[in-house]
Structure 1
Amino acid sequence: MPSRSSTAPTLDISLAQGVARGVRERGIEAWRGLPYAAPPVEELRWRAPQPPRPWEGVRDARRFGPVAWQSRSGNFIGAARGQEMSEDCLTINVSRPRGGGDGLPVMVFIHGGAYAVGSSAEHPRNGDVLVREGGIVYVSFNYRLSALGYIDLSRYSTARRPIESNLGLRDQVAALAWVRDNIAAFGGDPHNVTVFGESAGGNAVTTLMATPAAHGLFARAIAQSAPTNALYGPELTSRWADEYLEFLTERLEPSGVESTTPEDAALMLALADPSDLVEAAVALTLLTPDRDPGTIALCPVIDGDYLPVRPLDAFKDGSVMRVPLIIGTNDREGALFTGRLDILATTPPRIRSIFSNTKKKARKAIKALYPGLPEKRAAADFAGDFAFWYPTVKVAERHSRHAPVHFYRFDIAPRLVRALGFDATHGIELFALFDRMDGVFGRAMGVLGGRRAFKKTGQRMRAHWIEFARSGEVAGWPRYDEVDRKTIIFDRTDRVEADPRGERRLAWQAFVPHV
């Protein structure tokens, strides 16, 4: 995606791989589309990321790199038409305050999109307000998505065509390693890195905390609306891999390609067009919500090696990175997931499936807390709490035994959003945090009022995030623990509550004791 100000003043910076030419604009200095790993193409398609290759001369770093391959169909709409998609997508972007500086705090954002869609260029001005207001270095990056990053096909690995697991997760670790090795050249402090993300990006944050290869690559973490338990072991992901190969074979059969042996499957995966790879993944993800309610097919895999154990278990035994953590969710996470986005446990059959694994007394207690279940509103809240809120509570309480935790709930929403029945739903806090209310969609959300209060809440939220990135602490925001469970509620007027929705928390504890 081209920079809006390609004619703005440029500046060069020397990196290990060569000289990169960035741009000065709107109070910031930015370098975009820098490779943090070798292109994962051809023989590297299904392999862990390799070190970036040097370049000759001056590299133009004024524009974002191509986005990862993703589909424009299925539950989630991928890259806008006109955006270049490529397997050569492992690029990183850095912004700093105009005039630079030394030893600046670094904030690395991991975009969401259900590990299926999205990119660091989706909202190209996301980090500008953090850079200008906080004097920080802001980093964003692309990573492999969909089948190319988040379906575990390692069971089809052969000696001739190796296939590794957790490729998208490995990309994220490679990006953080690049930050460690290069961020000082941009004025950032490699020992003061905060990684933060939302939705799948929040899941990435909590997963990285449990990934041994990521240890030491960041000092603080922020997980926003993370489905922290949305990753599974090989007993389930192996079946998904088999089903995925069936869908892919069906797409390729007209050309005479078949999969009968591991060698055939590995050859097919090596030769398939990336568009076929991601469309076969769409077929799998459309099947999963009803076949395996409460799960998400595109996810990291607990492979016993790169990701040794379930992150929630690692948080329990303290084997995660013991870094300060901000974590929380929005008031009504599940309200967004309707229509084509309906991937949660919102339908009567899906809810019955979830209930079938619990005791009758626990089911009765949960039903009492969601009156009308499985009616639409109650189902949305039940599903949102199952996927996002309750697993987030478990991460917070377990991590608080080993490191500082600050817990939040985001409650504010413009009036139109409330009138439409979404309230403070999944993803809405990004419009506040990144000050996106002046865009077309932001102004539309505020047409009935509430825009100014929403923006002010975002400003306060941003100040907390920036203070945390600087010091690991937040003035006026008590730490979370298992006794008081003090939580900041972001609203028109922020407040601190002790164990909000405590009755609901206890009911969920009995309902899904394995979480």
Structure 2
Amino acid sequence: MIMRSISSFARAVLTSTVVAFLIFTPARASGPPLVTIAQGTLSGAVEPGLHIFKGIPYASPPVGERRWKLPAPPVRWRGRRDATRFGPSCLQPPVPATSLYADPPAAMSEDCLTLNVWAPEHAEKAPVIVWIHGGSLRIGGSAEPIYDGATFARRGIVFVSINYRLGVLGWLAHPALTAESPDHASGNYGLLDQIAALHWVRDNIAAFGGDAANVTVMGESAGALSVTYLLTSPLARGLFDKAIMESANTRAVPELGHSVYGLPSAETIGSDLARRLGALDLGALRAMDGETLTVAATKAGFAPQGTIDGHVLPRQVIDTFDRGEQARVPLLAGFNSGELRSQRVFLPKPPASAAEYEAAITRRYGDLAPEFLRLYPASDIEESMLATLRDAIYGWATERMIRKQSEAGMPAYLYLFDHCAPATKARDLCAFHASELPYVFGQIGSDAALPPNWPRPEGPHEQRLSHVMMDYWVAFARDGAPAAPDAPMWQAYSESQAYMRFAKSATPARDLLPGMFEMQEHVVQQRRAANRQWFVNVGIAAPVITDAR
């Protein structure tokens, strides 16, 4: 079934991408850079040393009857298409203006499947990075200023950023959708968009000077989660050559038609949502205004996530890695030491005293309690609770995938971002979730393109750290091994559990957070055996563990 489905998907994508010639027309003094691809000719913009093309459709608009269907091939056009402006972001709910991550899109639409390309002016077979934005699979977009690809392009990378369907429009499973699908699957439309974008890159990126045989997928938060899906989806196999994940997780997600790990089936979730929205059938759902539907589904508690459908995602990410069936590509992955400082909504109410904390942990972790309390002691309950969730959500998952990739014989590189700029320290946000992004994208200084509530890293020291991190990331995308001039050698994890710590500088180290991985792994295996979810229900919010050893 999977092979048949792969073929049907590939035929749909290749319909628009088989083309005899992909022509790059260099910039002329009197005019913009022109590129001719399968769909037509693009007219881009110039920055010093760069050619930039924005708002390129990589699939047909997923609107009307095409809502909740496979991404269809993009339409062709005649003449020159202006490619100097971003396409609209995909529909998404509003974010409170006070949020650290608030950065409202300039425009949004259900017709949003576009991508952007930054290329060195004279690029020829340059390495390619495809950036997948974060935002809990419900907000964000490739037009966010922080994701400007110019700094990567100036280092020799052809940088691509993409939009993909978000929220209920991108991740809804429903029995009626499964029934109408030729692959007998539903959900994962946002992931299928990402795969369609990778097909587009494979077939068109040479026109921009990129090497289709040297593509790195890269994402942060929900973008990193998407990369884990791409690593485990057979439909994405062969479409990328390396992967970078910043703050990923590997929680259990619903299966299409069955309850697992205490989760309702994805179809049950979709059916319940439709009833809550007053939609009696699929036609009524498709008839709803997209923005109204998106906001209403969010208010109703719909949580976008992958679906184990036996087709796009054959099995849980953790199971795929255990079976060694993930994509065999070099991997660079890490997380931040203060992830939860900006995600305190996940924290349960703290106990009133150290004795109450220790009693709660002992009751829930049994024989594992002494090791748990060594790692997360009662001497500072708040810091221990922050660290508990950091490790349960991000730390364990990241190190586990790095370990599994190493065991599969692939180069795998682990990092910890542990840096605290003065502006983040002043707000008790040291190394918060996504705080590495300004360093990775070179957005340092008073004029950096950051969300309005973001603490701004400024000064020569922050610039130096950013340059080093960008050098490592670019070298990995180019060669499969991170390296930076005048910076320490970054050894692969297989070398005695080596990792790189980014604090005041880049510092090589070994054995990240000793004992953390082993304890968390033991807990996760217990949860899996008991058919229970593992994610944020840890620490004082954990279920009681019996027969801990």
Q: TM-score range by the shorter chain?
A: 0.7 to 0.9
Question: Displacement, 1:125?
Answer: 5.6
- Indicate if the aligned counterparts of 2:337 and 2:390 stay in contact, CA closer than 8 A: no
Q: Structure 1 residues 445 and 279, CA, compared in 2 at 3 Å: closer, same or farther?
A: closer
Shift of 1:329: 0.6
Deviations 1:324-348 (A, max 9, x none): 010111112111103xxx2x35445
Match of 1:93 among 101, 112, 116: 116
Instruction: Name the % identity.
Output: 33
Counterpart AA for 1:383: L
| Structure 1: distance between partners of 2:285 and 2:150 | 39
Matching residue within 460, 477, 482 for 1:452: 460
- Residues in 2 aligned to 1:371 and 1:493: alpha-carbon distance in whole angstroms: 28
Deviations 1:239-268 (A, max 9, x none): 5654555555545xxxxxx44xxxx33122
Give 2:338's aligned residue.
Answer: 332
Task: Provide the residue aligned with 1:223 in structure 2.
Answer: 245
Q: How does 1:339-358 map onto structure 2 within 5 Å?
A: 342=345, 344-347=346-349
In the TM superposition, residue 509 of structure 1 has moved relative to its aligned partner by 2.4
1:510 Cα shift?
A: 2.4
Higher mean C-alpha deviation, range 355-364 or range 433-442: 355-364
Instruction: Report the counterpart of residue 292 of structure 2 in structure 1.
Output: 276
Match for residue 164 of structure 2?
A: 143
Q: For 2:107 and 2:362, how far apart are their aligned partners in 1?
A: 45
The aligned counterpart of 2:435 is: 428
2:509 aligns with 497
Q: Which amino acid aligns with 2:490?
A: W
TM-score for the superposition, normalised by structure 2: 0.80
Report the equivalent of 1:293: none
2:44 paired residue number: 22
Query: Is the contact between residue 146 and residue 450 of structure 2 (CA under 8 Å) also seen in structure 1?
Result: no
2:225 & 2:200 partners in 1: Cα distance?
A: 21
Q: Which runs of 5+ in 1 are unaligned?
A: 1-7, 252-257, 287-296
The aligned counterpart of 2:531 is: none
Map of 1:414 onto structure 2: 421
Report if the CA contact (8 A) 1:108-1:194 is conserved.
yes
Correspondence 1:24-423 to 2 at 5 A: 24-73=46-95, 83-98=106-121, 100-123=122-145, 126-132=148-154, 134-154=155-175, 157-159=178-180, 164-229=186-251, 231-234=253-256, 235=259, 238-239=264-265, 242=268, 245-246=271-272, 249-251=275-277, 258-259=278-279, 264-285=280-301, 297-338=303-344, 342=345, 344-347=346-349, 359-372=365-378, 375-402=381-408, 403-423=410-430
Counterpart in the other structure of 2:9: none
Q: How large is the RMSD of aligned CA atoms in angstroms?
A: 3.1
Q: Tell whether 2:490 aligns with 1:477.
A: yes
How many angstroms apart in 2 are the aligned matches of 1:243 and 1:405? 36
The runs of 5 or more residues in structure 2 that have no matched partner are 1-29, 352-356, 484-488, 529-533, 535-549
Q: Which amino acid is 2:472 matched to?
A: H
SS in 1 for 2:54: strand
**Amino acid across the alignment from 2:419:** I
| 1:186 CA displacement | 0.5
Shift of 1:226: 0.9
Query: For this pair of structures, how many residues does the alignment match?
Result: 479
Report if the CA contact (8 A) 2:130-2:218 is conserved: yes
What displacement does 1:304 show? 1.7
**Offset at 1:151?**
2.9
The CA distance in 2 between the partners of 1:80 and 1:333, in whole Å, is 19
Q: 1:171 Cα deviation (Å)?
A: 0.4
TM-score of the pair, normalised by structure 1 = 0.85
Distance 1:464 1:183 in 2: 23
Residue aligning to 1:10: 32
In 1, the alpha carbon distance for the partners of 2:472 and 2:463 equals: 14
Q: Deviations over 1:359-378 (max 9, x none)?
A: 41224432342224994433
Matched residue, 1:292: none
Distance 1:484 1:369 in 2: 21
Please identify, of 427-436 and 226-235, the stretch whose mean Cα deviation from structure 2 is larger: 226-235
Query: Tell me, what secondary structure is at the counterpart of 2:515?
Result: helix
SS at match of 2:219: strand
CA distance in 1, matches of 2:309, 2:191: 12
CA pair 267-182 structure 1, distance change in 2 beyond 3 A: same
Report the more deviating stretch, 241-250 or 198-207: 241-250
Shift of 1:228: 3.0
